[in-house]
């Protein structure tokens, strides 16, 4: 068995890469450890940059997104009991689209089936071989039998815990990491959003975020302890704590209801350099993680696979290695800017355990500066809507 590009991981990075390569006439196979339903049950990101929407349009999977996605022109920052709007469209001329990662993934999966492309779900013990040489191979177990696929390139799109990055010799990697001393407790409910735009709340009890998936489905997050557990958070307790962290107008408008999903995610900044090792490329969470405060994780996965697909097209169509030689530098340049923005948003909005009064005053000064200065608003806005590719 042989393909041009073997893609490890069928999350958003792997699926979008597969469609982009297909559009460029490059054959690819995806190897995914889990099954389709498991992947679709994961509730994750919700905000798409215009660049990400453009890529989904390019591969012809934006129909449902344009129908159901919510176009947002601004966000709100709440602190000291008051809310302040940042008009991102006024600052940048751009918008973001609220459309869940689950739906993006579903649309990409459907397009892949329609295009007749191969995805091996429930692929066990995936291992990567000889990617330093010109003859890479991927080995996996399916239904108790070991199979092997030869390929020209391997794309490691298998997330933070995947096998691809772990297949690289440790001394070839430089890792950068910051683990934050808190997590996010997320709740999804079939209730109308508290407000038409997202509200990022800085509060002395901890950060809170009001987000949404549609006009009748809301997504809320509370900063929680790193070792906390969802069992400690029955719905009533979640809603009570959320109300404590919101401004009065938001409390008055909040509609509560039973949770559909509840989960805790740790917050982490992480980068692995470089993102290419011979004929193996890393993309998405396999190479980097951002804390979700800047809504950048999924969007970075999209820009990585855009760079990678263009580089591979150049390799096959123009017989030039220039693109693949430059992939890591190009991707990392955008990644680090998103790392900086996500770290900055996280630092400004969360309560850090053991923090002193000085740090709290600095946070409030930073937020006041943001709402008073057009230059500061512009800086936040251009990062939030997405820096150019």
Catalytic residue numbers read 72, 200, 292, 296, 384
User: Would you tell me how many other CB atoms lie within 10 Å of the CB of residue 73?
Assistant: 18
Pick the closer one to ligand PHB by CB: 208 or 287: 208
β-bridge mates for residue 177, sequence order: 270
- Phi, psi at 45, each rounded to 5°: -65, 160
Q: Binding to ligand PHB by residue 45, rule CB under 6 A?
A: yes
β-bridge mates for residue 268, sequence order: 179
- Phi, psi at 203, each rounded to 5°: -140, 150
> What is the dihedral sign for C-alpha 239, 351, 300, 166?
negative
Question: Cβ of residue 372: shortest distance to ligand RFL, in angstroms?
Answer: 28
Q: Binding to ligand PHB by residue 259, rule CB under 6 A?
A: no
User: SS3 for 208-264, per residue?
Assistant: EEEEEEECCEEEEEEEECCCCCHHHCCHHHHHHHHHHHCCHHHHHHCCCCCEEEEEE
Q: Which does 156 bind (CB under 5 to 8 A by kind): ligand PHB, ligand RFL, none?
A: none
Q: Please tell me the count of residues contacting ligand PHB according to CB under 6 A.
A: 9
Question: Cβ of residue 288: shortest distance to ligand RFL, in angstroms?
Answer: 9
Strands 199-201 and 118-120: unpaired
Instruction: Identify the residue among 83, 165, 219, 276 touching ligand PHB (CB under 6 A).
Output: 219
Instruction: Identify the residue among 97, 119, 293, 299 touching ligand PHB (CB under 6 A).
Output: 293
| Euclidean distance between CA atoms 9 and 45, whole angstroms | 17
Q: DSSP 3-state assignment of 178?
A: strand
Q: Which does 33 bind (CB under 5 to 8 A by kind): ligand RFL, ligand PHB, none?
A: ligand RFL
Q: Binding to ligand PHB by residue 105, rule CB under 6 A?
A: no
Question: Cβ of residue 178: shortest distance to ligand RFL, in angstroms?
Answer: 16
Interface positions with ligand RFL (CB under 6 A): 8-14, 31-34, 39, 44-46, 101, 123, 126, 157-163, 265, 284-285, 292, 295-298, 301
Question: Cβ of residue 8: shortest distance to ligand RFL, in angstroms?
Answer: 5
Go through 107-140 and write b for each residue having 16 or more CB atoms within 10 A of its CB, e for each that does not.
bbbebbeeeebebbbebeebebeebeeeebbbeb
Q: Which does 293 bind (CB under 5 to 8 A by kind): ligand PHB, ligand RFL, none?
A: ligand PHB
Q: Binding to ligand PHB by residue 223, rule CB under 6 A?
A: no
Q: Which does 69 bind (CB under 5 to 8 A by kind): ligand PHB, ligand RFL, none?
A: none
Mask for 187-216, x = binds ligand PHB (CB under 6 A): -----------x------------x-----
Go through 149-176 and write b for each residue having 16 or more CB atoms within 10 A of its CB, e for each that does not.
bebbbbbbbbbeebbbbebbeeeeeeee
Question: Cβ of residue 294: shortest distance to ligand PHB, in angstroms?
Answer: 6
The window from 112-120, 121-129, 275-283, 292-300 that contacts ligand PHB (CB under 6 A) reads: 292-300
Q: Which helix (H) or strand (E) is 5 found in, with range?
A: strand 2-8
Q: Binding to ligand PHB by residue 289, rule CB under 6 A?
A: no
CA-nearest of 22, 31, 25 to 1 is 31
Pick the closer one to ligand PHB by CB: 106 or 139: 106
List interacting residues with ligand PHB (CB under 6 A). 45-47, 198, 211, 219, 292-293, 295
């Amino acid at each position: 068995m042989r393909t041009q590009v073997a893609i490890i991981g069928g999350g958003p990075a792997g699926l979008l890469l597969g469609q982009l390569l297909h559009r460029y006439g490059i054959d690819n196979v995806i190897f995914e450890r889990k099954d389709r339903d498991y992947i679709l049950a994961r509730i994750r990101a919700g905000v798409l940059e215009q660049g990400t929407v453009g890529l989904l349009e390019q591969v012809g999977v934006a129909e449902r997104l344009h129908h159901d996605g919510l176009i947002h022109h601004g966000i709100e920052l709440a602190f000291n009991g008051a809310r302040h709007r940042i008009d991102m469209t006024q600052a940048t001329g751009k918008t973001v689209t609220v459309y869940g990662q689950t739906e993006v993934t579903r649309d990409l999966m459907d397009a892949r089936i329609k295009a007749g492309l191969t995805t091996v779900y429930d692929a066990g013990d995936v291992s990567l071989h000889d990617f330093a040489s010109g003859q890479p191979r991927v080995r996996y177990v399916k239904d108790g039998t070991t199979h092997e696929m030869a390929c020209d390139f391997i794309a490691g799109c298998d997330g933070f815990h995947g096998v691809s990055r772990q297949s690289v010799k440790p001394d070839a990697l430089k890792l950068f990491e910051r683990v934050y001393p808190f997590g996010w407790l997320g709740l999804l409910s079939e209730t109308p959003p508290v407000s038409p735009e997202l509200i990022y709340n800085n509060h002395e009890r901890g950060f809170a975020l009001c987000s949404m998936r549609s006009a009748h489905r809301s997504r809320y997050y509370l900063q929680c302890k790193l070792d906390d557990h969802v069992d400690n958070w029955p719905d009533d307790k979640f809603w009570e704590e959320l109300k404590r962290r919101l401004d009065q107008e938001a409390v008055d408008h909040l509609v509560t209801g039973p949770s559909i999903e509840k989960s805790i995610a740790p917050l982490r900044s992480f980068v692995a350099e470089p993102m290419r090792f011979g004929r193996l490329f890393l993309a998405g969470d396999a190479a980097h993680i951002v804390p979700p405060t800047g809504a950048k994780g999924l969007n970075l996965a999209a820009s990585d696979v855009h760079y990678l697909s263009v580089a591979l097209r150049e390799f096959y169509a123009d017989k030039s290695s220039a693109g693949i030689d430059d992939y890591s530098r190009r991707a990392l340049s955008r990644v680090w800017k998103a790392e900086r923005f996500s770290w900055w948003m996280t630092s400004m909005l969360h309560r850090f355990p053991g923090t002193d009064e000085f740090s709290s005053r600095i946070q409030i000064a930073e937020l006041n500066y943001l709402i008073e200065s057009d230059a500061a608003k512009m800086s936040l806005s251009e990062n939030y809507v997405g820096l150019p590719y």
